[in-house]
Every structure is written in C-alpha cells, then in structure tokens.
With several copies, the nearest count.
Chain A
C-alpha cells in the first residue's frame, strides 16, 4: 500500500518525529511504499543539518536522512519540507537563502523544500495519510 506521513512538530521537544520514524521503518519492513514524508509546522526543524544531539542520544535528523528510508524497491523516501513553514522558522536551503539575502543555509541535503501542494498531492496519490503531531 502507498502511505504518506505528515509530521507537525520539531525533533526532541515532541515524540511526533520519533513515532513517525518508527512507523515509517515498520511500514517499509512490511513492504509498503512510503510515498512521501511531509514536514509541516515546527516539523520543518527535523531537516536541520546543524543538529548536534548529545553523544548518548539518537540523532533524529540523520536517522531520517540515512537509515532505513529506502522503500522495498530501493527507491528513496521523499522527505519534503514545507517552504512557508520553513522560512518563518529559519530553515533555509541554498536557493531560499540566496533569494532572501541570508548568508547561510541549514537544510540537510536529504530533504527538499517545496510547497504545501506536495502535502495535498500526497493525500491524493497515497492510499493513506498518517499525521504525527503534538
């Protein structure tokens, strides 16, 4: 089955991102396709490549970026960050940074900034959309 995920909260403050990650891993292990993970609201903060958790704690950003996020057919799971939510929370990729005259960027390369339409499209294209939030 084709499943998409929406994550509404940032890493560490709420369990949302951890739960979504465990769910995503379990879904892929069962052979389902994760069509898209859409990061909205404070969820955009899960995409920061500046994140430095304590050594004895999990690295949520890297877990999303590196581990187990390939579908059974080997395709990548799309990690999409809402651009409007990201900008007002200081999450920028190179293109948005240069557009807005900011000398730096912090979106991890495994994530992609895009519009809210990608969430709606995920709802349309997927058999299920599961939301994780506060």
Chain B
C-alpha cells in the first residue's frame, strides 16, 4: 500500500463529548497501516493531553494514559498550538510528557510534543493528503 500523510486535528475537550476518545482509537488503528501520521491539538483539544486528569467523580473512563502509547506505535509527531495554550493560560508544563524512543539515536527517549504557531500549523496542514478533524 502506498504511504500517505495523515493529520488528525483534535479540537474538543475530553469527556464532554466522545470525539477525543474515538479520535484516539482511530489514531492507534491507523498506526498499524504504517502511514505518515501527525496529530495536532488545537483549540480546546489541548485539554486532551493535560496532566492529572481524574475521572472517578464523573464515572467515565480516564483514557488519558493511552496517549502515552502513541510513542510505542511510532506516532511521534504531536503538534500543540502555542496560541491555543496561551489563550487558556496553559503551558507545555501542564501537558503530559509524551515521548518516543529514537531508533536512529540509540533508542534515546525524546519528546513527541512540538509547540507550534498557527503559521507553522498552516504549513503542516498544507502538506497533508488526508485531514481528519475531531
């Protein structure tokens, strides 16, 4: 099968709607297809990967730990909108440390998260073959 560039745009907060969870399910399946996969967290989507989520009180499954699996599936291009973080009074320190092991660098553990501007996001999006937004 040919290789295409897929980007997943995550724009919604988790738990209020299912889009965050079901988007993650798509991304994990997609990994098996060995495509070129990028994830972008923009708008309220940045809340999906915030640290310290605790869903005991709302009776829903806390799926935030699953994002840590992305590195194992070779999904390591994770873009987070600088503008979206800033508007919400958040910084990269509020985010879960998502990492991968770089096989080209003696399996060194590296961060998958890259904070990008709207201008950079625009450029990244323009290079994609398929864009799914959730």
A residues sitting closer than 8 Å to B (CB atoms) are: 6, 12-15, 18-19, 21-22, 40-41, 56-58, 63, 84-85, 115-117, 119-121, 123-124, 129, 131
Contact = CB atoms under 8 A, between A and B. Distances in A.
A116 B25 contact: yes
Interface of B: 1-2, 4, 6, 15-19, 22, 25-26, 29-30, 32-33, 35, 57-61, 129-130, 132-133
A91 B130 CA distance: 28
B58 A22 contact: yes
Given A85-B22, A116-B26, A14 B59 contact: no
Contacts, number: 66
Given A41-B22, A131-B132, A120 B35 contact: yes
Nearest to B15: A15
B26 A119 contact: yes
A58 B35 contact: no
A57 B66 CA distance: 14
